[in-house]
Chains A and B, each alone.
Chain A
């Protein structure tokens, strides 16, 4: 065993190979140098009663930098991520300017180098996310970009999406789609149904999502390109993905914590905190999202952490921007609300998303000697109350304020550095 500078002691290691009682020793290079009983090191971090797991990986984080630094920065967002147990996040490209070329990719990578978790940018599929012409995907892929998406909008033009998928197959990258047919969704601000009709708010039909899921499954079948469906929210979408997987197509999918916990009935008070895209759906949809997470149809939980400055959410419902923060609550919402064993929850939050993001060499892998010590120490029995005022995010648009959750991140290690200790960010 190499020399340990730090030992995580007294916990139970949980990774995709199983669970066992073991201490984890970390060397000076930030690698795991030992996993076993009674390890010693210069510094001991207590993990008594806790699970020591690979760090979480978020496939869908809006860090808002460059362009919207009043809402979030790479630094503040990464601090929120670390507090939530994440060691890597995929930064969505709907920044200003969009991450649609090498120079903006480099800018975000440089900002991420100083962050409290690894920040890997997603690139836009089309220039300026305008949905008209392809962005230079190869030049971004050369810098390590693995996931491409116009998130915030779906690529509307089927021919352009087909070309993007064909092109992607030569680069070994994955296209992520925000599935929303704009001709059906335009003007809508919440899920179309009982509540939109009653509240007089124009609706976004489930079909707006499902049409594009169907189309992109067909395009994946045609081109052979892998496609990742962002934030699936409807029972119909999940059924389509289930069938595509049964057929053996290269499709993956994610769902957000708010889509397995909240319904469109939350909009009854017209609070724009509950405005999000895709919108909060029906009870049946929530049930379908949970079932999809349980049976593996949905591969990953992704936060769609979407910070917005306070004043933008203190506007009329139809004028407020969609989105809610989620990095600090995702794990606890999953452990509290899904009714799944903790192994299954971590599968959804760590190792599967790490693979989809192309980050499996560094993140999500087994807690084993030689691997980078990107780890999360979770107290599975700790109960806490969500308080947006204490968030590390620059924004406070948290719809879970006041909710009591069970399961809390105690420590987070980024390449051996304790970036979070006992629930406190260390820098």
Chain B
């Protein structure tokens, strides 16, 4: 694997490899000093055009636990000059002799473009979320979290609920869940589904109450305020009434079924506050596993062949 741009590029073996590596890094994370020297001397840059403190910190923590040097470029700071083109910024970073660039951008496809521009130089690119396209490390940590609770994903039924149309998390997770053998049902009003689902290995439902008793996991997507002004839903109140995971609806789920959310949550919109805290919720596990999964990805992309994960 040269870059991590999209789950759609990955086969099942690579995902399994990330899962296995993540096991080791979870173990590292539980040590008194949760750090290994694997990437000593390597430099990882986080290039965030979209503010996302949680994702950025998760990547930077992962890189530091692998002993890599970390540089941060963010649009809020002066390090990305106003008006400087994306390509110029990437060239500047590449010229610093970095080993990996972790890119977050509001436009779909930017990590792919960055990967093309650095192709000659050997720099690795990791997609930390691009527009409505993909967020592959989120999907990998979601798969890992589901496996912790459910064992294998094979044959599991997972409902992804909400704004699939605008969701990079949904696109990555649909690819990841289905390649690992789960059945995915999208539950949303038609206005929040992609215009075309040709080639998507999913079923579609507009009735959350009917789906909840059947699923092993329900994945709630973040619902944004703007969707109301774009006339995609009449109001957030109506959205919650039809598609929110309220306490009443959570009761419909089978014993052992789990609730996921990529964060940050709009409590009271797509998920009720008490549901987010209930025993079925694995939302805090998702955050905790994020660092270990990202360590696994950095290890796969940057560590020498056959390097030992937990040496020292």
Contact = CB atoms under 8 A, between A and B. Distances in A.
A197 B196 contact: yes
Contacts of B200: 197-198
Contacts of A202: 132
A247 interface: no
A318 interface: yes
Contacts of B110: 270, 316
A153 B134 CA distance: 31
Contacts, number: 75
Contact of A194 (B105, B116, B196): B196
Residue of A200, A205, A315, A317 with highest tally of chain B CB at under 10 A: A200
Nearest to A198: B199
B104 to A, nearest CB: 12
B168 interface: yes
A248 interface: no
A269 B9 CA distance: 12
Interface in B20-36: none
B54 to A, nearest CB: 21
B125 to A, nearest CB: 13
Interface string A149-176: 0000000000000000000000000000
A205 B109 contact: no
A263 to B, nearest CB: 14
A201 B131 CA distance: 8
B87 A311 contact: yes
Would you call the interface of chain B mostly helix, strand, loop, or mixed? loop
Nearest to B193: A197
A315 B86 contact: yes
B157 interface: no
Interface core residue of B85, B168, B195 (most chain A CB under 10 Å): B195
Given A270-B109, A311-B85, A200 B168 contact: yes
B108 to A, nearest CB: 4
Given A194-B199, A316-B109, A199 B133 contact: yes
B285 interface: no
A70 interface: no
A196 interface: yes
A198 B199 CA distance: 9
Interface residues of B, number: 26
A128 interface: no
A315 B134 CA distance: 18
Contact of A270 (B113, B168, B194, B195): B113
B133 A314 contact: no
A318 B106 CA distance: 10
B171 interface: yes
Contacts of A314: 85-87, 113
B192 to A, nearest CB: 12
Q: Is the interface of A mostly helix, strand, loop or mixed?
A: loop
B107 interface: yes
Given A200-B108, A200-B132, A200-B168, A205 B195 contact: yes
A399 interface: no
Nearest to A201: B108
Contacts of B116: 269, 271
Interface string A294-333: 0000000000000000010011111100000000000000
B112 A269 contact: yes
Interface centre among A197, A205, A271 (most CB of B within 10 A): A197
Nearest to B108: A200
Interface string B187-219: 000000011111110000000000000000000
A136 interface: no
A54 to B, nearest CB: 42
A193 B195 contact: yes
A292 to B, nearest CB: 24
Contacts of A203: 195
B202 to A, nearest CB: 12
28 contacts: A193-B195, A193-B198, A194-B196, A194-B198, A194-B199, A196-B196, A197-B194, A197-B195, A197-B197, A198-B171, A198-B200, A200-B108, A200-B132, A200-B133, A200-B171, A201-B108, A201-B131, A201-B132, A270-B108, A270-B113, A315-B86, A315-B87, A316-B105, A316-B106, A316-B107, A316-B110, A318-B107, A319-B107
Given A270-B113, A319-B107, 17 more contacts: A192-B196, A193-B196, A194-B198, A196-B196, A198-B199, A200-B108, A200-B171, A201-B109, A201-B133, A202-B132, A269-B112, A269-B116, A314-B86, A315-B87, A317-B108, A317-B109, A317-B113
| Pairs of residues from A and B, 6 with the lowest C-beta to C-beta distance, nearest first | A270-B109, A316-B107, A200-B132, A197-B194, A200-B133, A200-B108
Interface of B: 85-87, 105-110, 112-113, 116, 130-134, 168, 171, 194-200
Interface of A: 192-194, 196-203, 205, 269-271, 311, 314-319
